[in-house]
Amino acid sequence: MDESSLKPDQLLCEYNGVIDIADLDNIVPDTIYLSKLHIEVCTKLASTMKLSEDEYHLLTNILIKHSNKTKTITALVSLIKAGKIKPIAIKSGYMTSSILEKHIDLQGINIVNDKSDNGHFIDLSHFKKIFVKLVLHRIYRLLFRKIACTSAIRSWVEISQIMYGDKYDSSLILIYPFVLNIKRHIRYIKHCFGNYKSATLCGLQYSLIDYMKLLISSRSKDLHCVRFELNAYKKHAAELGQIGVKHLYTSDEFEAGAFVMVKALQDCGAEVTNTAHGMSFGCPYVNYETFYVYNNAQKDYYSFKSEQVNYKVTPRSNTDPVNCVLDNAEKKKKVIIFIEANYERLGMRYYTNLENRAVDILREFSLKYSVDTYIKIHPNRKVPVDLNQFSIAGVKVIRHLSEIKHAEPIFVSFYSAAYYDFRQLGPFIFIYDGFVWPEEVYGEDGLVCAPLEEIHTEILKYLN
């Protein structure tokens, strides 16, 4: 096949033939999108637009979180730099020469510009979710009680209380919409309203006019998306300032526009403390006084673009201690516990495939060596609907470790903050994804790692 036969969003490679650009994220792991390379791809793309500094930083944050196009650019660049593919021709409406030449040498690569591209880099699916966000936040605002306070906590589920439990009695507890697990969110709301005097639902003041501009725009959707978020966070900062907030405790590094609110509060003399809510790497532009991160890998990631922040490396538990306890029976049997990460919900196709293979391999291992294998599901999994795939796989599913009796666990995981919750209970074996070693994600040396096909060898060392 020659390059004249290429369809839109395809590339022709010297050894690999024709590859659909949309399939690149099946070839590389999602850890690539936690790299400085991906940050650079997004920042350089955002810099091509005429934006204010806050708009530029906000667009970069949104692209990091909600742009499959920037992910495919990063995937392509990383594969080329790693020598895994050698493109001859690329046909795309958004992978233009002016974008790619910032990252790779284009000599020998013919770039064919496809005119059918829609012109925006933020995912269409994100634009659709924005309407749901607008509605939910407006509903929560109807029940927003503006209680005068000097200390407030932004929260979504019980993790916030694990982080800031000592502040709950003396602070206004702001509870924002959380759609990933409705039952978990409702349990948290009931707990807060039943145990604390100063708790309220809360939402951002998203503008219907800003949303309509986004909806009707054809070629400037990215810009209007930025302004939709920017204006809402500025207004929310003003609200918090009006009720007297001088200390805000939060965990919102995953919200693209949160830094806008933080800066506005700081301008009014308030201090903002953030605690990383997990092992994930969120938006690179943040602006907290103090940011508690899990490890040096997170510190390096965030300080790449936000070096002004005071980072404190403090590994900690995100799980209720009640659910981290194993019984103290004298006779214990060794079991394998695979810590599932709900990659499918996050649209992480490379890891979804690996995770499914891992379950199959561990099931076969369990049968061969007569050792029980459990899947410790992610807190945002819905029970029982989302558990069918594991039940079919023939392994046992648990939500909490306390469900297992007389066990001496051997943990298996890709990447999970549960490592900090459970590492005192048994050894961890990390699965190497073929691109990024777990040491790079955890910022620790000496972790036990193995490719998926060799994981049985490491498990056997602990069984014998």
122, 67 in Cβ contact below 8 A? Answer: yes
Average pLDDT over every residue of 350-356? 84
Dihedral angle sign, alpha carbons of residues 453, 457, 460, 461: negative
pLDDT in tens, 368-396: 999 988 988 887 766 555 555 555 556 78
pLDDT (tens digit per residue) in 174-187 = 999 999 889 999 99
Sheet-wide strand order for 333-339: 396-398, 373-376, 333-339, 407-413, 428-432, 449-451
Measured distance CA(452)–CA(360) in Å, rounded: 11
Chain position carrying tokens 């100063």:
198
- Identical fold for domains 124-313 and 321-463, yes or no, is yes
Instruction: For 321-463, give the CATH class.
Output: alpha beta
CATH (residue range 124-313): 3.40.50
pLDDT digits (tens, 9 = 90+) for 225-254: 999 999 999 999 999 999 999 999 999 999
- φ, ψ dihedrals at 58, nearest 5°: -65, -45
pLDDT tens for each residue of 27-56: 888 888 888 999 999 999 999 899 999 999
Q: How confident is the model at residue 399 (pLDDT cuts 50, 70, 90)?
A: confident
Most confident of 57-71, 320-334, 374-388: 57-71
- With 70 as the cut, is the pLDDT of residue 69 above it? yes
Cα(422)–Cα(418) distance, integer angstroms? 6
Express each pLDDT in 401-418 by its tens digit. 888 878 899 999 988 878
Domain residue spans of the chain = 3-113, 124-313, 321-463
CA distance 27 to 75: 8
β-bridge mates for residue 250, sequence order: 274
DSSP-based three-state secondary structure for 12: strand
| Beta carbons within 8 Å of 247's beta carbon, 6+ residues apart | 150, 151, 152, 171, 270, 271, 272, 273
Residue 138 token pair: 């407006």
Question: For residue 8, what pLDDT band results from cuts at 50, 70 and 90?
Answer: confident
Asked whether the predicted pLDDT for residue 319 surpasses 60, the reply is no
What digits encode the pLDDT tens for the residues 96-120? 888 999 999 999 899 888 776 768 9
Tokens of 43: 């920042």
Residue 70 and residue 42 in contact, taking contact as beta carbons nearer than 8 Å: yes
One-letter amino acid at 291 equals F
Mean predicted confidence (pLDDT) in 211-233: 93
Count the residues in the chain. Answer: 464
pLDDT at position 155 over 60: yes
DSSP string, 414-447: SS-THHHHHTTTS-EEEEE-SSS-HHHHHT-SS-
CA distance 280 to 24: 22
